Amino acid sequence: MCHKGGKSLKLRFNKTSMIVSVITVFLIISAAVIWTVQTGKKTVQIPFSSVEKTISQYNNETIKLNEYKDGKLLIETSDGKFESHVPPNSQMVDKLVENYNVQYSYEASSPYTPWILGALVIFIAAIGFYLAKSGKGGVGAANTMKQSVSKPSPLPSISLADVGGIQGEMKDEIMQTLSVLKDPQSAVKMGLNPPKGILLYGPPGTGKTLLAQAIAKELGATFFSASGSAFTEMFVGVGASRVRTLFQNARKHKPAVIFIDEVDALAGKRKQHGGEESEKTLTELLVQLDGGHSNDGILFIAATNRKDMLDDAFVRPGRIDFTFNVPLPDTKGRKEIIEIHTKNRILADDVRNSLEELAESTSGFSGADLHSLFETASRRAVNKGQSMITKEDLDYALDRTILGSATRALQDVNTKRRVAIHESGHALVAAVTKPGSVRKATIVPRGQALGYVAPIPKEMHLSTTTDMLDQTAMVLAGGVAERLYLGEHSIGVSGDVQQAKHIIEQMVDTGLLEDGFTLTFNKVDKERKMQELFQKALERAESIIKDHSEQFETLVDVLYKKETLEGTEVQDIVDLSKAG
């Protein structure tokens, strides 16, 4: 650690010394030029009143008279040079030209201008030389970047066993691909050619880069890794040169895996008229992948979040032989990922016993989200001086991951009570219509929300009309509770209304109506049906709150005092009061 820091410090010191040296040399050159000009001319200063007398002494020879824009007057004779200055609006120079044998010239620039420009050119050349050598600009920068892109990376330490959430069919196809690459002779006997390219696509954070690294590890291949943006360059030919150099180096280190992340920046669809530098870079990539080059022993892997943006010529078979969708993990996949991320962490018993429940309740989480979840929980445990991760740490991490950081607690009593009523409305309707669906209810502000009811998301399922109407009622229940107990609702329902509108619009568009499978093609009819569904959801939420008024009021009081209730506590309040 110290060695790297010292090396970095020494490198910065050397660069600073180089810059100081270049500036010093420029100043020395400038001073030398000015001194040479000043001493070499041996010019005699004379007053303007003595100019005519001086010229008259050399009436038998031609005298050079140079006038400059700044009023300087330079007289060149056989005996030397004389310098004076012309007063403003003086006509003396014209008379001298008329009366004496004078060769007159006028210059708009200073006599030192050529020398100054020369010194400036030398200075710019020195700076350019420094940048070229240091790789910060021009050809030097291009060469440095080209070499950095084409250098092999250390072989990744991650294996396929360390990558969780891979679906069964996809894992089988990857293993088949690896077997062909590991034993190409057996594949050739069966008439099977080793694949040239693999495309991994899917949402961010699903493990595409990890999968590419694991494939390289399984093959024991030299690993070349770069981002698609590393080949995008404004200089003509630089991007194509980087692609060419990358493949040339890979051919020297067979077997090799070339991995390009965010490949859409490099292989995006070409425009109709073409001619852009990026298209020349893409053309070079297409040629290197399948243009008569020997790529035996080289596997090209590309990853992107935007498969639809890729050029058709890039994704065709022969260049990309396998295309794998890397989706968000399902419950089984999340279990595997959670097991990987908890392998080296000390967990409390209640946390370890609830990991399966955590996998079920984190629907929509990517592998990166789950990693961040446990990192956040671990940091909190360390900051609190704990020796293990507790359930409280994990709940905090869930809220932090989903909603953002906590903000200042509610101080105003009226606002706090309104938020308690609002969130209790959501929690009650959710607990009644779908028991066990609430993970937490809180009035502790977090992110943009003053309070929230966190549901337990389930795996994707087919919603019915009743399901979606219950969901709409739950979404609107906060505003309904405010109107029932406080007389009017607040602006805090704006997000609820937009969410409810989206659900209702989806119901109308797909014909999920209570009167049967009915599609609406008229805008007026659509708005009428949406209004009817909205009113039914409001009435359902109001009916549930009124029918369970005792449970609701208990829920408000407990939530106001404790500020946070676990889902089990919410469900117990609803069930116990119901039993009583």
Cα separation, 342 vs 347, whole angstroms: 8
| Residue stretches of the chain with pLDDT short of 50 | 1-13, 135-142, 145-146, 579-580
Residue 347: count of CB within 10 angstroms of its CB: 20
Residue 559, SS3 per DSSP: helix
Inter-CA distances, 468 with 245, 248, 288, 294, Å: 56, 58, 52, 57
What's the confidence (pLDDT) of residue 474?
A: 94
CA 473-476-478 angle, to 5 degrees, is 120
Determine if the peptide bond prior to 435 is cis (ω within 30°).
no
Active site residues: 423
What's the confidence (pLDDT) of residue 473?
A: 94
Inter-CA distances, 66 with 81, 93, 114, 117, 377, Å: 11, 10, 16, 21, 83
Whether the CB-CB separation of 64 and 76 falls below 8 Å is answered with yes
- Which DSSP letter does residue 416 get? H
Of the CA atoms within 13 Å of residue 41, those in its CB half-sphere come to: 17
What's the confidence (pLDDT) of residue 194?
A: 81
Cα separation, 450 vs 407, whole angstroms: 9
What's the confidence (pLDDT) of residue 32?
A: 64
Whether the CB-CB separation of 110 and 70 falls below 8 Å is answered with yes
Judge residue 132's burial from the number of C-beta atoms within 10 Å of its C-beta, 0-12 exposed, 13-18 middle, 19 or more buried: middle
What's the confidence (pLDDT) of residue 175?
A: 85
Cα separation, 389 vs 379, whole angstroms: 9
Listed residue (210, 170, 157) closest to 337, CA to CA: 210
Phi, psi of 123 (to 5 degrees): -65, -45
What's the confidence (pLDDT) of residue 273?
A: 66
Q: What is the 3-state secondary structure (H, E, C) of 176-199?
A: HHHHHHHCHHHHHHCCCCCCCEEE
